[in-house]
């Protein structure tokens, strides 16, 4: 068996590859995804007009009733299927504009103005609905079983932070499977190759604070660690000081969150303030569409410039469009976000993974598929998948780290990696001393 296969053997692996990208109801992938809370939209966008929103292959409508309570209903009215996207927000629910059937946030039909007063039709209707919560500037939903008693919403830590400016950005919709994105985040070798992510041109004002000359960018040395929320990737690079390593981590929280510490975090001159933590989450629309909802925390006093950049144009093509470039994305190189989009989309909307040839540098992708595989099996066995615990309440802490660590203190593991939360973390100054004690 090659290391591209999970333990259960080739046919199970083939089945897994088929099941993994599926998001609809009744599919193994979709049933797994339905054990988690998912973002629906930003709170700020849900005002006095309903919003059509497709989630996990289901066409739904989000709205706020007249009291400000958010709801999520099936988009087609139970009467004769008109779209509730054109419904009227009422004090106690959403009214279909066609014949006035009105629904509360739990799908109960509370009015049918054209029916006889003694009709019992209302009581027989239970329109499709899903529980929602509003927290951290986001409307969330749970689309799994036991809707009346869903597991607690795990609050993603960044959105609860008060030690900086939290930013949310939505609207980046992609036309391929969400796993193309997530697997990219388990595949950090690409950052050096595709994005040319190397440190160069340290600004003069920062030079007194540290020696950022990093050796051995290629191949990027990567370790992969499974965590209770998902997994993390750790790169450990040699610096100009043999006693100090430069460590970077990226985290994946199942099934749709990714996190990085930000290319500027922990940099001099003021290590305590120069922290940007970034990442985001995916709103899965269907098997071949998703929306990125990015979040980031910019701590006060950040160094706003960046000296981690892609390779210069003469080494790597140009961002200028060439007249003879007939590709869909011409002049695509030089902007990491665009580079990721182009390569992920180019894999195909649902890539045929049977045709892949995975290598050593794909260990992160393989780990991620094992984790997803286990989650699919757990759900099929009636268990909760990773990261869902009905007794658990509170934060989903997804640590990331970016900075210097003394060689003799560097241990890589799920439990002992430095965390960025609350300024903790083993960030070192140029003398190797802890910045956060
Ligand atoms: S179609 Fe909605 S009330 Fe008739
Ligand atoms: Fe990337």
- Residues having CB closer than 6 A to ligand 1 are 77, 79-80, 82, 96, 98-101
Residue 422 binned pLDDT confidence (cut-offs 50, 70, 90)? very low
Does position 10 have pLDDT exceeding 80, yes or no?
Answer: no
At 306 the pLDDT is 46
Q: How far is the CA of 77 from the centre of ligand 1 (A)?
A: 6
Residue 2 binned pLDDT confidence (cut-offs 50, 70, 90)? very low
Of ligand 1's listed atoms, the one at least distance from the Cα of 84 is: 2
Domains of the chain listed by start with CATH number:
44-142 (2.102.10.10), 155-423 (3.90.380.10)
State pTM to two decimals.
Answer: 0.88
CB under 8 Å to 120, separation ≥6 — which residues?
none
Find the ligand nearest to 121 CA. Answer: 1
Q: How far is the CA of 91 from the centre of ligand 1 (A)?
A: 19
Of ligand 1's listed atoms, the one at least distance from the Cα of 100 is: 3
Q: From 77, 95, 103, 115, give the residue whose CB has the most ligand 1 atoms within 8 Å, as the site to mutate.
A: 77
Residue 412 binned pLDDT confidence (cut-offs 50, 70, 90)? confident
Query: Mean pLDDT over residues 315-341, rounded?
Result: 76
370-410 confidence digits (pLDDT tens)? 999 999 999 999 999 998 977 666 888 887 776 667 788 77
| Max mean pLDDT range (163-167, 179-183, 424-428) | 179-183
Q: How far is the CA of 336 from the centre of ligand 2 (A)?
A: 6
Asked if 33 contacts 26 with a C-beta cutoff of 8 angstroms, the reply is: no
Shortest-distance Cα residue to atom 3 of ligand 1:
99
Nearest-CA neighbor of 395 among 161, 143, 111, 215? Answer: 161
Q: How far is the CA of 198 from the centre of ligand 2 (A)?
A: 13
Query: Mean pLDDT over residues 44-66, rounded?
Result: 97
Asked if 390 contacts 144 with a C-beta cutoff of 8 angstroms, the reply is: no
59-118 confidence digits (pLDDT tens)? 999 999 999 999 999 999 999 999 999 999 999 999 999 999 999 999 999 999 999 999
131-166 confidence digits (pLDDT tens)? 999 999 999 999 999 999 999 998 888 888 777 778
Asked if 49 contacts 68 with a C-beta cutoff of 8 angstroms, the reply is: no
Residue 401, Cβ neighbours under 10 Å: how many? 25
- Higher confidence at residue 223 or residue 256? 256
Q: How far is the CA of 191 from the centre of ligand 2 (A)?
A: 5
Say what percent of the chain tops pLDDT 90: 52
At 415 the pLDDT is 56
Shortest-distance Cα residue to atom 4 of ligand 1:
99
Q: How far is the CA of 263 from the centre of ligand 2 (A)?
A: 12
Asked if 404 contacts 392 with a C-beta cutoff of 8 angstroms, the reply is: no
């Amino acid at each position: 068996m090659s290391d591209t296969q999970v333990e259960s053997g080739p046919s199970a692996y083939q089945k897994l590859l088929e099941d993994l990208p599926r998001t609809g109801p009744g599919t193994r992938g979709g049933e797994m995804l339905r054990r988690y809370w998912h973002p629906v939209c930003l709170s700020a966008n849900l005002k006095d007009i309903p919003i059509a929103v497709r989630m996990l292959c289901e066409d739904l409508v989000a709205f706020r009733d007249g009291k400000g309570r958010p709801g999520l209903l099936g988009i087609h009215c139970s009467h004769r299927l008109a779209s509730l996207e054109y419904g009227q927000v009422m004090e106690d629910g959403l009214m279909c504009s066609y014949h006035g059937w009105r629904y509360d946030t739990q799908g109960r039909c509370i009015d049918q103005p054209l029916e006889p007063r003694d009709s019992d039709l209302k009581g027989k209707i239970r329109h499709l609905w899903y529980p929602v919560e509003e927290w951290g500037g986001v409307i969330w939903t749970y689309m799994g079983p036991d809707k009346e008693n869903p597991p607690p919403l795990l609050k993603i830590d960044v959105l609860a932070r008060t030690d900086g400016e939290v930013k949310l950005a939505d609207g980046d919709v992609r036309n391929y499977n969400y796993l193309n994105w997530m697997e990219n985040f388990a595949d950090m070798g690409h950052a050096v190759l595709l994005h040319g992510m190397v440190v160069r041109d340290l600004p003069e004002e920062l030079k007194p604070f540290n020696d950022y000359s990093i050796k051995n960018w290629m191949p990027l040395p990567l370790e992969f660690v499974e965590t209770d929320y998902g997994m993390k990737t750790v790169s450990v690079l040699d610096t100009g000081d043999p006693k100090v390593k430069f460590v970077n981590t990226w985290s994946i929280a199942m099934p749709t969150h990714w996190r990085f510490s930000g290319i500027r975090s922990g940099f001099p001159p003021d290590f305590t303030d120069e922290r940007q933590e970034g990442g985001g989450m995916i709103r899965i629309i269907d098997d071949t569409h998703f929306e990125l909802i990015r979040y980031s925390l910019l701590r006060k006093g950040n160094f706003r410039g960046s000296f981690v950049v892609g390779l210069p144009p003469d080494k790597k093509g140009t961002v200028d469009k060439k007249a003879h470039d007939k590709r869909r994305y011409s002049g695509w190189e030089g902007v990491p976000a665009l580079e990721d989009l182009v390569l992920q989309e180019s894999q195909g909307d649902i890539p045929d993974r049977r045709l892949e040839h995975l290598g050593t540098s794909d260990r992160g992708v393989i780990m991620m598929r094992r984790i997803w595989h286990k989650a699919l099996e757990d759900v099929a066995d009636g268990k909760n998948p990773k990261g869902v615990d009905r007794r658990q309440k509170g934060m989903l802490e997804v640590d990331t780290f970016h900075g210097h660590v003394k060689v003799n203190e560097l241990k890589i593991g799920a439990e002992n990696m430095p965390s960025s939360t609350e300024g903790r973390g083993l960030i070192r100054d140029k003398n190797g001393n802890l910045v956060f004690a």
